Amino acid sequence: MQNRRHFIRNLSLIIPATAVGGYAAKAATFAEENRPDNLLLLKVRYAMLAMQRASWEQGTTIQAMIECREFEMLRFLVDEAILRQSPDGRTCMLGSGHNVTDPVAAGCGILKAYELFGDEKYKSAADRLYDYCKNKAPRDPNGTLYHLNDSKQLWSDSIYMLPPFLAAYQDSEECMKQLRGYRTRLWQPKKKLYSHRWSDDENRFLTENSWGGGNGWAAASFAIVYELLPKAQQTYREEVASYLVELLEGLLPNMRPDGLFHDIVDNPQTYVETNLSQMTAFAIYKAVKNGAIDSSYLQAAKQMQQGALSKVDQYGYVQGAAGSPMFNSPGTSTEAQAFLLMMVAAESNVL
């Protein structure tokens, strides 16, 4: 485990060599010969970086670099995110014109880059992104940001895309307001799961089903937000921890013996999906490390991790995830690659 931790935190030392011809094979050989579990992670990372990425995918890749402490690669990815910052403040705007909250997923990484490197361009980009979230983005009558700017929809994805940045920007009040807003509309208290999409235009659920990916986004967000909220704001932290515990109570009874879940969490007629296990295991490891939840959840996280790792193919692709670009059938995706790395990094930190 110590080798895995060392590898994850020092991958950035390998990457400059891999950019120069034959050194790529040399680096891979070193990993294969000396650290058997690390070549797999290297392949997963390469596959992730090779994928074309929309705004939320760039943001999730950036978060993976934070979790793995690969700060030079973080800077490269953030530079691309702010290169494509639109005049209204949204980042990563590459084919994401109608997206409201997805472009905010890069926000934590932009703030981290400013903390690490001190370049004012990162501070300026974060300020403009925050101004968009606070003052410009379309929202419902209670102030909860819509997912899109061409329709009045609230999505479970937004639970991850927006609140962590607000917490990192130290606007805890707005962070909690947004978490509560999504919860009010999407939380199913009997199931203890989140529905996926609500429409204010039609005053109904567009997708009432509890999509695995959406519930995974929520679990990951709660773990990240808990870590980012100031320790002095313990009441807020306890509230966020309670959201995660309640969600785990809804998820765990639906976990399969192989550690995986169905795409619709409580519908075994839907296909077996990989990424929810990674997202939830990441959330558990991170939350246990920070004291948000107790260690009794680690056994389930280990089971999820084993199930997810069994789905990685010889090339490093995490197979069986809700597949890009439509996320309605099994396949591969940037976020599945990112969350495998985040899961393993979080595991190494909790042990």
Mean pLDDT of 314-327: 96
Q: Is residue 10's pLDDT more than 60?
A: no
* 3-state DSSP assignment of residue 22: coil
As a whole number, the mean pLDDT across the chain is: 91
For residue 271, give the DSSP letter: P
Task: Give the pLDDT score at 94.
Answer: 87
Distance, CA of 340 to CA of 350 (rounded, Å): 16
Number of domains in the chain: 1
Measured CA to CA, the distance from residue 331 to residue 318 in angstroms comes to: 8
pLDDT above 90 covers what percent of the chain?
87
Sign of the CA dihedral running 274, 276, 139, 199: positive
Give ∠ CA 234-65-19 in degrees, rounded to 5: 170
pLDDT for position 37: 63
pLDDT given at position 5: 52
Give me the CATH number covering residue 57.
1.50.10.10
* pLDDT reported for residue 121: 98
pLDDT over threshold 80, residue 181: yes
**Contact criterion met (CB below 8 Å) for 256 and 272:** yes
Q: In the structure, what pLDDT confidence band is assigned to residue 48 with cuts at 50, 70 and 90?
A: very high
Query: Which residue, among 172, 155, 142, 203, has the nearest Cα to 56 in the 3D structure?
Result: 155
126 touches 169 (CB < 8 A): yes
Q: Name the band, by pLDDT with cuts 50, 70 and 90, for residue 29.
A: very low
Range of the domain at 105: 2-350
Q: Could you tell me which of 255, 351, 348 has the C-alpha nearest to residue 300?
A: 255
Contact by Cβ (8 Å): 134, 128: no
Contact 122, 113 (CB under 8 A): yes
CA–CA separation, 160 vs 101, rounded Å?
9
Q: Which of 99, 91, 95 is nearest to 148 (CA)?
A: 99
Phi and psi for 99 in degrees, rounded to 5?
-80, 130
Structure tokens at 289: 């490390």
The per-residue pLDDT for 28 is 35
Exposed e or buried b per residue across 32-47, where buried means at least 16 C-beta atoms within 10 angstroms of its C-beta: eeebeebbbbbbbbbb
> What number is the average pLDDT over the span 152-163?
98
pLDDT the model gives residue 118: 97
Q: How far is CA 85 from the centre of its chain?
A: 20
Average pLDDT, integer, range 142-158: 98
